Amino acid sequence: MIITKSEFLLRTHLDRQTLEVWIEEEWLSPEQADPEPLFSEADLARAGLIRDLQGDLGVNKEGIGVILNLVDQIHSLRWALANRIGSQTEE
């Protein structure tokens, strides 16, 4: 499912400027395309997480980058672990 920039803004209730900042900070990295970047469902969910971190949890800008990086590492590990376990049960 590919989401255009205007649809993304609509569904996340973000304004253009905020989205630019999030992309600049590399919190979001949509697929670069002409004339505007394209977003995925995962980007949409990630924007929800960033909003929760910034709003409800009161995390500042520096903290969000750190958290997202760790969250990405956790998902990498969870994926590797799930594969490792899966391969052992097959053996």
Partner 1 sequence: MKDPYETLGVAKTATAEEIRSAYRKLAKKLHPDLNPGDKSAEEKFKQAAGAYDLLSDEEKRRRFDAGEIDASGAERQHERYYKEYAQDPGGRRYQYQTAGSGFDDFASQDDFLAELLRRRQEQARRAPGADRSYELEIDFLDAVNGATRRVTLPDGGSLDVAIPAGIEEGQVLRLRGKGAPSRGEGPPGDALVAIAIRPHRFFTREGDDILLELPVTIQEAVLGGKVKVPTATGAVMAAVPKGSNTGTTLRLKGKGVPKRGGGAGDQLVKLKVMAPTEPDAALENFLSGWTPGPSYDPRRDMLS
Q: What is the nearest approach in angstroms of partner 1 to the Cβ of residue 10?
A: 13
Residue 57: strand, helix, or coil: coil
9 makes contact with partner 1 (CB under 8 A): no
Residue type at position 43: D
Whole-number Å distance between alpha carbons of 35 and 40: 16
- Cβ neighbours of 42 (radius 10 Å): 10
Instruction: Read off the DSSP letter of residue 4.
Output: -
Residues 43-82 that bind partner 1 (CB under 8 A): 43-46, 48-49, 52, 56-58, 67-69, 71-80
Question: Judged by CB, which is closer to partner 1: 9, or 44?
Answer: 44
Question: Judged by CB, which is closer to partner 1: 7, or 72?
Answer: 72
Terminal CA-to-CA distance of the chain, rounded, Å? Answer: 36
Q: Which residues bind partner 1 (CB under 8 A)?
A: 2, 29, 31, 33-35, 38, 40-46, 48-49, 52, 56-58, 67-69, 71-80, 83-84, 87
